[in-house]
Amino acid sequence: MTVEINTVHQNDITQLEALNLELKNQLNTSQSLSKIGSWKWDLTKNEITWTNGMFIILGLEPGSKEPSYELALHHVHDNDKEHYEKELKLAMDSKSEYLIKNQIKKADNTIISVVSRGKCILNHEGELVQMIGTVQDISEIKSIKTSNKSLSELALVLAHDINAPVSKILSLIRNLDGIDTNHESFQSLYKIESLAIEIQEFVSNTLSNSLNGSTKLNVSSFSFESLIEKIRNSIFDLSHIAKVQCSGFPPIILGDRFKIKQVFQNLILNSKKYCHPDRNVNIQINYSEDRDNHIILFQDNGIGIDPINWKNIFTKNFRAHAEENIKGNGVGLYISAKTLDLLLGEISVTKSDLNGTTFKIIFKKSHA
């Protein structure tokens, strides 16, 4: 009987040890993925333990050295040591928590940016008996933020540089006198003026997005049908026979005109690019709504998209007709999908009743 009990007890211990090892492995894996190390400091015994992630953040082989406060402090960058010690002492004196952004010098002298957190653990008498904490490497996050800031600044410079010559073009056109409005040259100048105004609008929105953040919506009221007509006139010249019909739209809708224009300009450009060689371009845009959303069906009579490609059609650089001799880089529909994300919407594709392609666009109604 004693032997059986001991055997069962030993099996339980073995299972617990196996479970403990599995949990440790899972902890090490998760900390490695998130670039976090954690530590525990038993103040009653002056014992410090580190996870593998803590060693790795310091550039050390796990278990290669005895964990200690002195060793951790040694790897804190010289510029941050005084502040680090001050914040730690303040937390211990007040029996509270601390959070510090500092730099660490790894064993190979690499400098990384980290966030250090610590928390005091008290016993029933309110005495500080233990501290626990984490250190997270945020170097990649800082690098991304810096890169985004640089891109934003570049956008500002480019937008400013583009705006100057466009303004000059508009000024020259508007100062021309004596042109017969029925002459073909006037129609060409009118189209150039319209395109220049579009570029100015694009530049203005680029500047606004750079200054305010690309997720900010510039809500205004506008006529959707007038917007589509302007897009049509800018894309199709007199040599193209193109029918673009809108139905069901209210006279005025409220939304970010520029972003909505981006979506439908890309769709109409695609309808022109992938038109059927035996048919004139025919586009139908039908509107409906529910309580919260605008719902728009965009149909054309082009060469269509093979259903096998529907799931990838909004992927960056994907081209459903790459094997055909049609120029393109596969970003138009990707941009449309990303723009609709900003509008809290979505886009999907199916076969068109016009033997081409139908896109279903849904996006949230805006409020003044």
Measured CA to CA, the distance from residue 290 to residue 242 in angstroms comes to: 30
Instruction: Name the CA dihedral angle for 157, 162, 163, 167, rounded to a multiple of 10 degrees.
Output: 150
Strand 111-122 to 97-105 pairing: antiparallel
Query: Residue 5 has what pLDDT?
Result: 47
Residue 162 has which token pair? 């583009």
Measured CA to CA, the distance from residue 358 to residue 22 in angstroms comes to: 51
Burial class (CB in 10 A: 0-12, 13-18, 19+), 346: middle
Mean per-residue pLDDT, 103-125: 91
Query: Residue 334 has what pLDDT?
Result: 87
Out of 17-31, 182-196, 297-311, give the one with best mean pLDDT.
297-311
Statement: residue 6 has pLDDT above 60: no
Query: Residue 360 has what pLDDT?
Result: 96
Could you tell me how many residues make up the chain? Answer: 368
Mean per-residue pLDDT, 177-196: 63
Statement: residue 116 has pLDDT above 60: yes
Mean per-residue pLDDT, 152-161: 61
SS3 (DSSP) at 187: helix
Measured CA to CA, the distance from residue 135 to residue 57 in angstroms comes to: 8
Mean per-residue pLDDT, 263-289: 90
Residue 103: phi and psi, rounded to 5, are -115, 150
Q: pTM here?
A: 0.52
Instruction: Give residue-wise pLDDT tens across range 332-349.
Output: 888 889 889 888 899 999
Give the type of residue at 270.
N
First CA to last CA across the chain, in angstroms?
81
Q: pLDDT over 70 for what percent of the chain?
A: 67
Q: Which domains does the chain have, with CATH numbers?
A: 35-137 (3.30.450.20), 140-210 (1.10.287), 217-368 (3.30.565.10)
Give the type of residue at 137.
D
Statement: residue 229 has pLDDT above 70: yes
- DSSP-assigned letter for residue 366: P
Residue 324: phi and psi, rounded to 5, are -90, 160
Of residues 205 and 227, the one with the higher pLDDT is: 227
